[in-house]
Amino acid sequence: MGHHCCSKQKVKRGLWSPEEDEKLIRHITTHGHGCWSSVPKLAGLQRCGKSCRLRWINYLRPDLKRGSFTEQEERTIIDVHRILGNRWAQIAKHLPGRTDNEVKNFWNSVIKKKLISQGLDPNTHNLLSTQQITKNKNYQKDNNHSSSVFTVDTSPCKEILPNLSNTFEFQNPNLTQNQNHLVEFSSCSNSILSSGFGILNENCMWASNINNVFEQSLMMKSSGAVQEDQMQKEEQGVLLEDQQMMKRKLVGEDIINDDQEQLIYRVNDDEQLLNNVCDHQSTDINNAMFDDSSNIDFDFMDSALVPPAIYCNMNSIDHIAWDC
């Protein structure tokens, strides 16, 4: 049974031959694809239009980047996936030259396993639950992997908080002692510290790509049409008023402060924001609140920023987030 768009045609299925590729490339480069359902006939192919479209988008179009994913691309995928979930097409838009199919396959074959081996749930990016950990233990046992202790390189924080120790080690209490193999975030492909960080109290730190969260928190609150408009503006380098306001609030003018959480943010590649953070750390940051009149989705901010990657000193905040 073929697709409804080409059910009357006799269509070939399976892998494409070089001859078929050549026919498709020649047709599209000279005429464009137009209506995909008419492409097979015009290009002289015994294929369904849908199959032609897929072959072109995923394999033949000239702007595709071939070869292995770079570490930066891997970090981007993890960052965006944490926010968007399995929206492969949206994730692929952040990776020029990569297709949704490619990103999806890379996620399923590589990244997913890495996150699991680091004690993270690949769906939620939270730490794995006890049951999941048990499953993971079996996985690790079977596959000779383990990673219950995380060593976090704090060097990116030094300019802000020079008294921080050089590294923190965080152990998931759900994992056993005999699994204490170290995972160094600075050397592994985990996205977290590469893209920014925050600090909760003195000895507890988390990290996230704050820029993505800003963008997504705005989008989550917006209607579809407005989202599209925002994305277009972002692509054009227009920083939306809400985003500017949000960043100001987070980095200097109105930093959240309660007994448990003092949030200080740094955003890579944004010196102004970094300066704001540095300027602000010696000042009093009491009683700041977000109002609800902006377009920022605070529930989303909360879920996107805090739970996925809280790595803390277990002496000060025992067992936080390990079981979430």
Residue 54 as a binder of DNA (CB under 7 A): the answer is: yes
Cα distance between residue 274 and residue 250, in whole Å: 11
Query: Three-class SS of residue 311?
Result: strand
The two structure tokens encoding residue 156: 């990116």
By beta-carbon proximity to DNA, the closer residue of 162 and 224 is: 224
**9, 37, 203, 257: which one binds DNA (CB under 7 A):** 37
Phi (first) and psi of residue 92, to 5 degrees: -65, -25
Residue 106 as a binder of DNA (CB under 7 A): the answer is: yes
**Span interacting with DNA, options 52-60, 167-175, 250-258, 271-279, rule CB under 7 A:** 52-60
**Span interacting with DNA, options 1-9, 196-204, 253-261, 309-317, rule CB under 7 A:** 1-9
Residue 32 as a binder of DNA (CB under 7 A): the answer is: no
By beta-carbon proximity to DNA, the closer residue of 46 and 275 is: 46
Residue type at 2 in one-letter notation: G
**Span interacting with DNA, options 30-38, 189-197, 233-241, 266-274, rule CB under 7 A:** 30-38
By beta-carbon proximity to DNA, the closer residue of 223 and 282 is: 223
By beta-carbon proximity to DNA, the closer residue of 37 and 257 is: 37
Residue 13 as a binder of DNA (CB under 7 A): the answer is: yes
Q: How far is CA 205 from the centre of its chain?
A: 19
CA distance from start to end of the chain? 45
**14, 18, 162, 237: which one binds DNA (CB under 7 A):** 14
Residue 91 Cβ vs DNA, minimum distance, rounded to whole Å: 8
Residue 2 as a binder of DNA (CB under 7 A): the answer is: yes
> Binders of DNA: how many residues, by CB under 7 A?
37
Residue 303 Cβ vs DNA, minimum distance, rounded to whole Å: 19
Contacts 24+ apart (CB under 8 A), 291-299: 294/242, 294/245, 294/246, 295/218, 295/221, 295/222, 295/242, 296/217, 296/218, 296/221, 296/242, 296/246, 297/217, 297/218, 297/220, 297/221, 298/217
By beta-carbon proximity to DNA, the closer residue of 108 and 187 is: 108
Residue 29 as a binder of DNA (CB under 7 A): the answer is: no
Cα distance between residue 54 and residue 6, in whole Å: 15
By beta-carbon proximity to DNA, the closer residue of 6 and 157 is: 6
By beta-carbon proximity to DNA, the closer residue of 142 and 269 is: 142
For DNA, the binding residues in 218-237 under the rule CB under 7 A are 224
Residue 1 as a binder of DNA (CB under 7 A): the answer is: yes
Residue 108 as a binder of DNA (CB under 7 A): the answer is: yes
**23, 27, 55, 75: which one binds DNA (CB under 7 A):** 55
Residue 104 as a binder of DNA (CB under 7 A): the answer is: yes
Q: Which residues of 239-274 are buried (b: 16+ CB within 10 A; e: fewer)?
A: ebebbeebbebbbbebbeeeeeebbbbbbeeeeebb
Residue 90 as a binder of DNA (CB under 7 A): the answer is: yes
Residue 3 as a binder of DNA (CB under 7 A): the answer is: yes
Q: Which residues of 147-168 are buried (b: 16+ CB within 10 A; e: fewer)?
A: bbbbbbebebbeebeeebeeeb
Residue from 107, 124, 126, 18 nearest 69 by CA: 107
DSSP label of 66 = P
Residue count (the chain): 324
Interface with DNA (CB under 7 A): 1-5, 12-16, 34-37, 49-51, 53-55, 58-59, 86-90, 100-102, 104-106, 108-110, 224
